[in-house]
Amino acid sequence: MSFLVDDKKLIDSAMSTELFSESSDYKLIVEAMRYSALGGKRLRGILTLEFAKMFGCNFDESMPYAIAVECIQAYSLIHDDLPCMDDDDMRRGKPSCHIAFGEANALLAGDALLTHAFNVISKSESAKKHPERAIKAIKTLSGYAGFCGMVGGQVLDLEAAEKEVDGKTLWLIHKLKTVALIKSAVLMGCYAAGTDENFCGFAEKYAENFGFAFQIIDDILDFDGNYDTCELNSYVKVHGLEKAREDAAVYIKNAEISLSELSDNGFDTLNFKELLDFLTDRMN
């Protein structure tokens, strides 16, 4: 799966170039943004680049979209770690942004990454070349990251952390909090390439199933074997470990079905199959 390593390196390098200012006036905020945004697996950015590539768009053109989704991802993690949210001291193997830079600067670094996502797309050469594709991407990313997407999911998740949740509520939380951003990553890749609506639909189905599997597996990995101390909003707490594993496998199977719709139309879906294998390996 060398494309995972190669794509991540390209995204890391492009993000490092993007999140930079020559002016010393912005030193502190840029330092905080870089501290949090230069890291992570880059799965969402990789999905953007790879879907764009499959539909015929080169990495130079799709990179602004990949950077944008990774900026949103980094902002959401900074804010999620704040004491008023999930209150986590560690992120990506090092102290969280608010531990390293203080709460106010962490809040602002998150805000700056959120707004910069849309700046990256709108000032890009890709947007100059295909403004209608850029507008579609901005509409998708801002919608799925906003109140009826990730932020809405976070609100429901905070509520759910306090009480027992049923399977239907948890499904909605995951759909909004996790799946929405993954879906926008995939769709932006499709839009960057000017992909036919029909094919966008298959890609979207893959993204949905990938997203649910990803979140369930994340909950499985977080589970330490003790149901009493397990978070109330964990898939494992709500459904049990056995069912969590079964459901993750079903989502992965469904994602494979969406891929076969694409490969039947002549597209090379090998990398997306490998991404599903990556999820399965994480679970096992």
Q: Among 69, 80, 183, 235, which residue interacts with ligand GRG (rule: CB under 6 A)?
A: 80
Q: Which stretch binds ligand GRG (CB under 6 A): 75-83, 124-132, 196-204, 266-274?
A: 75-83
The 189-218 contact track toward ligand GRG, x by CB under 6 A, reads --------------------------x--x
Residues near 45 by beta carbon (within 8 Å), at least 6 away in sequence:
7, 8, 11, 66, 67, 69, 70, 185
Figure out which of the listed residues 154, 195, 234, 269 binds ligand GRG, where binding follows CB under 6 A: 154
| Spatial separation of the C-alpha atoms in residues 91 and 75, rounded to whole Å | 12
**Which distant-in-sequence residues (6+ apart) come within 8 Å of 113 by Cβ?**
33, 36, 37, 71, 72, 74, 75, 78
Which part of the chain contacts ligand GRG (CB under 6 A), choosing from 76-84, 120-128, 190-198, 264-272?
76-84
Task: Please state the φ and ψ torsions of residue 138, each to the nearest 5 degrees.
Answer: -60, -40
Q: Of 62, 76, 209, 233, which one interacts with ligand GRG (CB under 6 A)?
A: 76
Residue closer to ligand GRG by CB (options 92, 243) is 92
When asked if residue 19 is in the footprint of ligand GRG (CB under 6 A), the reply is no
User: 250 by DSSP, 3-state: which?
Assistant: helix
Instruction: Measure the CA–CA gap between 49 and 189, rounded to whole angstroms.
Output: 6
Question: Residue 49 and residue 24: Cα distance in Å, rounded?
Answer: 32
**Footprint on residues 43-62 left by ligand GRG (CB under 6 A):** 43
List the one residue from 20, 26, 28, 41 that touches ligand GRG (CB under 6 A).
Answer: 41
Contact of 195 with 55, CB cutoff 8 Å? yes
Residues that bind ligand GRG (CB under 6 A): 40-41, 43, 73, 76-77, 79-80, 85, 92, 150-151, 154, 177-178, 215, 218
